[in-house]
Chains A and B, each alone.
Chain A
Amino acid sequence: MTYRFKTSLKWSSLTPRMDYMNRRQVLAGVGAMALTAMVSPSVAKIAAKASAFSTDEKPNTLEEITNHNNFYEFGTSKSDPAQHAHQLTTDPWSVKIGGLVDKPGNYDLADVVKGVDMEERIYRFRCVEGWSMVVPWIGFELATLLNRVGVQSGAKYVAFETLHRPEEMPFQNSPQFPWPYVEGLRLDEAMNPLSILATGLYGEEMPKQNGAPLRLVVPWKYGFKSIKSIVGITLLSEMPPTTWNNIGPNEYGFYSNVNPDVSHPRWSQASERRLGGGIFAKRQPTLMFNGYGDEVASLYDGMDLRVNY
């Protein structure tokens, strides 16, 4: 049992029978509670409007979304984040916004989210490793924040940085990877209404293993672009360095748009396995821009996406 399950369950919902339930039933219970929280506003922590950008595909369960994560700060195995992320302190939290902005500063998380329109965005999520999920994020458009701090005319890129706190993120003590994790978007990508800063999922606060308290979600790009636990946002005139591009420039480009026609040197990207369907679940074809071409294809007009992968 991990700490997460203890906190997710309320004492009132525990009955002596619970003692006899096995782990999976307890987990199913957590999922059911999350669903209850979503439909009954009195329990929901985050009020969020539905969005026209949401897919009508069936979201993965909370159990699936919170137990299969690439968050190398907590270890390289998919189950490490669920096991170790409880150590992360997410309150207090501040985000340093700087570079080519009118109002730079160290913003408390409460100020970052003050007055924003929280929406539920049910997005497809495609990992570069060839698996995918559907996640009901809660968040607000990145453009809202950027407009509020005032983007200056010379800015062309947005750089993001994850928290660097090795005492709470154990794998940051490993020299195998360059810490802190950094990512970036072109300004027009960042301003696209699909790009959100997410603070929750399934109607609840963001689970720590999913990048609490504030993470980026750019659904037409491979998952590693959607940087977690953000503490820095910087507007720049030049393209910023990004972590996976630093590690393997021939494998991970700056853009990393989901593209079935451009294969990664180690994975074909033509099809994907949607998780949650059991071991005999059918592979499905991967869609250009992860199916968000109508919204984002024009951003790349005239660009050779084989070169700018």
Chain B
Amino acid sequence: MNRVNSALKRVPNLTLYIAGVLPLFWLLFLLFNGGLGIDPVKALEHRVGKIGLQFLIAVLAVTPLRKFFGLNLIKFRRALGLLAFFYIAVHLAIWLALDIQFYWAEIWTDILKRPYITIGMTGFVLLLPLAVTSNNASIKRMGPVGWRMLHKLTYPATIAGGLHYVWLVKGWQYEPLGYLAGIILLLALRMGGNRQRVASN
């Protein structure tokens, strides 16, 4: 694992940013070639949203991977988080501009009265301060303890994303439930890891 970790150390973060936006270009390519089906707006909205959720889950996986497998991906965590925010912001923009098309009366009632949109929006709002403070200057200004506290908002934000997905589909479907189960598992592993550390002290 040490060899993997030292190899990863030589991979520049920029690689991840570039690789991370490729899926969006792929979706745009599909969009202009009729590859997104009969309802391209919904397809784009849902697929971009799902990629955002996948990046959030990747962020949550960093700590358990290090704890249980010794795989150190910490240096990539900021990039993963910012990519998650980027996709979720694009997801929101698609909803506003192409789906609901700035019908503010409907948007407002959607946000207030439809639980899956309320919770999705909550998740997005929780991510805002994280995206804004994902830079070294903010860590310095806030101090590592305060910064780390703030960034624990990742947990409720990811749960909100998982619930948003489960809630928006008709009936109880396996795929979104699988995502939610994965999120809960990753959070549980994190708690389990802490307890182990306390026990070994």
Chain B window 131-175, contacts with chain A (Cβ cutoff 8 Å), 1 for yes, 0 for no = 000000000000000000000000000000000000111111110
Q: Is the CB of A265 within 8 A of B114?
A: yes
Q: Is the CB of A176 within 8 A of B38?
A: no
Chain A window 259-270, contacts with chain B (Cβ cutoff 8 Å), 1 for yes, 0 for no = 000010111101
Complex CA gap A248/B171 in Å reads: 8
Q: Is the CB of A67 within 8 A of B41?
A: no
B contacts with A, residue count (CB < 8 A):
30
Known: A265-B114, A266-B114, A267-B114. A68 touches B38 (CB 8 A): yes
Q: Is the CB of A279 within 8 A of B106?
A: no
Residues in B neighbouring A266, C-beta threshold 8 A: 114-116, 167-168
Q: Is the CB of B101 within 8 A of A76?
A: no
Residues in A neighbouring B100, C-beta threshold 8 A: 283
- Minimum C-beta distance from B9 to chain A (A): 41
Taking CB atoms and an 8 Å cut-off, the chain B residues in 89-117 that contact chain A are 98-101, 103, 105-106, 109-110, 113-116
Taking CB atoms and an 8 Å cut-off, the chain A residues in 86-100 that contact chain B are none
Complex CA gap A248/B172 in Å reads: 10
Known: A177-B171, A266-B167. A271 touches B98 (CB 8 A): no
Q: Is the CB of A273 within 8 A of B41?
A: yes
A20 within 8 A of B: no
Q: Is the CB of A279 within 8 A of B114?
A: no
Complex CA gap A263/B173 in Å reads: 23
Query: Which of B39, B105, B106, B113 sits near A78, CB closer than 8 Å?
Result: B39
Q: Is the CB of B38 within 8 A of A78?
A: yes
- Minimum C-beta distance from B112 to chain A (A): 11
Complex CA gap A129/B46 in Å reads: 14
A179 within 8 A of B: no
Residues in B neighbouring A263, C-beta threshold 8 A: 109, 113
Q: Is the CB of B114 within 8 A of A176?
A: no
B178 within 8 A of A: no
Q: Is the CB of B167 within 8 A of A78?
A: no
Q: Is the CB of A176 within 8 A of B171?
A: yes
Known: A176-B174, A271-B103. A78 touches B109 (CB 8 A): no
Q: Is the CB of A268 within 8 A of B99?
A: no
- Minimum C-beta distance from A279 to chain B (A): 5
Q: Which of B37, B38, B99, B115 gathers the greatest number of chain A CB atoms within 10 Å?
A: B38
Known: A67-B37, A263-B113. A280 touches B98 (CB 8 A): yes
Taking CB atoms and an 8 Å cut-off, the chain A residues in 38-74 that contact chain B are 63-64, 67-68
Q: Is the CB of B38 within 8 A of A283?
A: no
Q: Is the CB of A76 within 8 A of B173?
A: yes
Top 4 A-B pairs ranked by shortest CB distance? A68-B38, A268-B106, A64-B38, A283-B101
Chain B residues packing against A (C-beta within 8 Å) = 31, 34, 37-42, 44, 98-101, 103, 105-106, 109-110, 113-116, 167-174
